[in-house]
Homo-oligomer: A and B are copies of this chain.
Amino acid sequence: MPTPYNEFIKHVRETGMIDATSSVLDWDAEVNMPENGLDQRAEQLSLLAALGHERRISPRLGEWLSKLEGKTEDEVQETNVREMRRAYDRAIKIPTALVERIAHVSTLAKESWAKARKESAFSKFVPHLKELLDLKRQVADAIGYKSERYDALLDEFEPGATAAEINTLFNSLRGPLSDFVKKLADAPKMPDVAILNRNFPIERQKLWSRQCAMLVGFDFNSGRIDVSTHPFCSGFGPGDVRLTTRYYEDFFSPSMFGTLHESGHGLYEQGLPREHVFTPRGQAASLGIHESQSRMWENMVGRSRPFWDRYYEQCRAVFHESLSDISIDRFYAAINAVSPSLIRVEADEVTYNLHIILRFEIERELLENRLKVEDLPEAWNAKIHQLLGVNPTNDAEGCLQDIHWSMAAFGYFPTYALGNLYAAQFFVAAKRDMPDLDDQFRRGEFSNLLGWLRKNIHQHGMRYRPADLVKNVTGSALSIEPFLKYVREKFSPIYGLQV
Residues of A at the B interface (CB closer than 8 Å) are 14, 17-18, 20-21, 24-25, 28, 32-41, 43-44, 47-48, 51, 219-224, 236-240, 277-278
Contact = CB atoms under 8 A, between A and B. Distances in A.
Contacts of A25: 21, 24
A117 B239 CA distance: 30
A44 B28 contact: no
Contact of A36 (B39, B44, B222): B222
Given A17-B47, A18-B47, A48-B21, A40 B224 contact: no
A104 to B, nearest CB: 19
B24 A28 contact: yes
A37 B220 contact: no
Given A34-B223, A40-B236, 19 more contacts: A14-B47, A17-B43, A17-B47, A18-B47, A20-B40, A21-B21, A24-B44, A34-B220, A34-B222, A34-B239, A36-B222, A36-B239, A36-B240, A37-B236, A37-B240, A38-B239, A39-B239, A40-B277, A40-B278
- Sorted nearest first, the 9 A-B pairs with minimum C-beta distance are A37-B240, A36-B239, A40-B237, A36-B222, A37-B239, A17-B44, A17-B47, A36-B221, A35-B221
A36 B278 CA distance: 15
Contacts of A37: 222, 236-237, 239-240
A33 B220 CA distance: 10
A12 B24 CA distance: 23
Contacts of A47: 14, 17-18
Nearest to A238: B36
A221 B35 CA distance: 6
Number of copies: 2
12 contacts: A14-B47, A17-B43, A21-B48, A24-B25, A32-B32, A33-B240, A34-B220, A34-B221, A36-B221, A36-B239, A39-B239, A40-B239
A37 to B, nearest CB: 3
A32 B239 contact: no
Contact of A240 (B14, B41, B236, B237): B41
Contacts of A43: 17
Contacts of A33: 240
Contacts of A44: 17, 20-21, 24
A224 to B, nearest CB: 6
A237 B41 CA distance: 9
Contacts of A14: 47
A222 to B, nearest CB: 4
Contacts of A20: 40, 44
A32 to B, nearest CB: 7
Given A28-B28, A40-B240, A224 B17 contact: no
Contacts of A39: 239
A431 to B, nearest CB: 31
Nearest to A27: B28
A51 to B, nearest CB: 7
A112 B39 CA distance: 42
A39 to B, nearest CB: 7
A399 to B, nearest CB: 35
A237 B40 CA distance: 7
A220 B43 CA distance: 21
A210 to B, nearest CB: 14
Contacts of A18: 47
A72 B277 CA distance: 46
Contacts of A24: 24-25, 28, 44
Nearest to A21: B44
A115 to B, nearest CB: 24
A48 B17 CA distance: 9
A42 to B, nearest CB: 11
Contacts of A28: 24, 28
A7 to B, nearest CB: 16
Nearest to A241: B34
Contacts of A35: 221
